[in-house]
Amino acid sequence: MHFVDFLRATVLLSAAAATALAVVTVFSASAAGDPGVVSILAGWWVFSGAIGLWLGRRAQVNPPIARLLGEARASSALPEHRPGSMLLNRLWPLLLFTFVAGGLAFLAPQIPGIGAGFAIALAMWWRRQDAAVAAIEERDGVRFHVVRSSPVRAIALVRTPGFKALRPQRIDGATT
């Protein structure tokens, strides 16, 4: 799976998890007859969104992703392309987190509400990483792909040849 697509899917699935947990929070709080919990948690969601926006404000890749890109091994063949199983293989902690936090709503509606805040922060923090990796791919003329590996091991990438963007360069104010 193309790493840029994996990053986009991670952001979208984190936002979907936040939405699902927020819906579960609203329903469980209304069933418990405690609407004040939702207003307090809405403040938490805004705060966590602001933290995520602040953490993801840079247009550069995060240091862990930069290290992952630097450690990518070169390959001339494309790896296996199974995006559904790859996403499940790599994002199972997000899925488990969503189900556990949503399942605990019957104990207290605050649990999925707090989890929704963390998912919002993650989605906002990683929202620019796909564009930063795409810019590196365009600059270097490579493409990064996620390699199928054990779900409990660290993610691994391979670097394949891609298309390099040739842009006019400016020398002393004139384009060449």
> Could you tell me if 163 and 44 are in contact, meaning their C-beta atoms sit under 8 angstroms apart?
no
Per-residue model confidence (pLDDT) at position 167: 64
d(CA 116, CA 52): 13
Per-residue model confidence (pLDDT) at position 33: 84
pLDDT under 50: residue ranges of the chain: none
> Could you tell me if 120 and 48 are in contact, meaning their C-beta atoms sit under 8 angstroms apart?
yes
- Write the CB contacts of 61 (distance below 8 Å, at least 6 apart in sequence): 69, 129, 132, 133, 136
Per-residue model confidence (pLDDT) at position 32: 83
d(CA 162, CA 153): 27
Per-residue model confidence (pLDDT) at position 58: 86
Per-residue model confidence (pLDDT) at position 175: 57
* Distance, CA of 121 to chain centre: 10
